[in-house]
Amino acid sequence: MQSKPNSALVIVGHGSTVNPDSSAPTHLHADAIRVRGLFGEVHCCFWKEEPSVREVLRMVDRDDIYIVPNFISEGYFTDNVIPREFGLEGPMTVRGGRLLKYCEPVGSHASMTRVLLHRAREATPGVDPARTAFLIVGHGTGLNDNSAKAAKEQAARLRTETDYAEVLSTYMEEPPLVADWATLTSAPNVVVVPFFISDGLHSYQDIPVLLGIEEEAGAAASQRGVFRHNPHSLHGRALYYASAIGTEPMIADVILEQVAQFDRTHAA
């Protein structure tokens, strides 16, 4: 991406009122982009943390502002909450002499396929993809949430573009259930990547229980080492469990790709 010294980048995350894990990746991606000096300034804002979406622009100096939602898919937040809180009227909104450019969410960019692949390879060093099943885990059953659809599309791409023995999108709460991983797959190795924007109760506790890595959900989520004991030997297979895709540093590049895509789509 060409540098934009006269533009600001604002990354919007969900945030949490109970733990710092939700906003941490958003902040880290912002840090990474900030040090590259591509934008005049880089900010974060959140729905559940400060600065709120309502407040963040008060700290922004530039009048040309790219807003990128750090969400796993389009849905309630990107269609409803974020536009409402910013007072957006569409992809481009002029407000108080400033131009607000509303980009697509991180998770729906095509380059997420590359990020998922990278994460899976990293979790399975030296393991042959042709003898490995690749499982993406989404939430499913969300209110107006397209993350299940996004996970499915990513699985379809990975199936055609990589040499994994099997690629499946699975869900916590709707079929195909991630809990059925052993019957859904037949390859000797299985790698599981949560399709979530940050680590939290789902990736630390719920999914490990559904996979059978953990007996029951324990406390003190952030302190857990569930990602460090790969592979887990279960049902005669080697199961590799990765942390949420949104914590991958490559997401910073996806954010930049969404800005570049916005420019291409809305070229003056």
Partner 1 sequence: MGIAAEIVRLLEEGFDTIGQVRILRTGGGFDLRHVDDAGRGDLHVWCRPEEARQIAASDDAGGYRPLKTAPNLRRGWSLRVSGAEELRLALDFLYPAMIGTFLEWRAGGLMPVPLRETLGRQTGMYRVTVRITDAQAGELIAEHCKLEGGCLRKILWSLSAETPLKGLSPAKTDPDGVREGEIPLLCAEACNLLVAAARPVAKQTPPSK
Place of tokens 């910013």: 86
Residue 39 CA to residue 52 CA, distance in Å, equals 21
Indicate the pairing of strand 64-69 with strand 232-234: unpaired
CB nearer partner 1, residue 143 or residue 267: 143
Least Å from the CB of residue 254 to partner 1? 21
CB nearer to partner 1: pick between 84 and 229: 84
Nearest approach, Cβ of residue 7 and partner 1 (Å) = 14
Q: Which is nearer to partner 1, 83 or 129 (CB)?
A: 83
Q: Which residue, 87 or 175, has its beta carbon nearer to partner 1?
A: 87
Least Å distance between CB 250 and partner 1?
20
- Secondary structure of 128-167 as H, E, C letters: CHHHEEEEEEECCCCCCECHHHHHHHHHHHHHHHCCCCEE
Min dist CB 51 to partner 1, Å, is 4
Inter-residue contact 68 to 103 (CB < 8 Å): yes
Binding-site ranges for partner 1 (CB under 8 A): 16-20, 27, 31, 43, 47-52, 54-56, 58-61, 76, 80-81, 84, 143
Before 5, cis peptide (omega within 30)? no
Q: With respect to partner 1, which residue has the nearer C-beta, 143 or 268?
A: 143
DSSP class of 108: G
**Closest distance of CB 83 from partner 1, Å:** 11
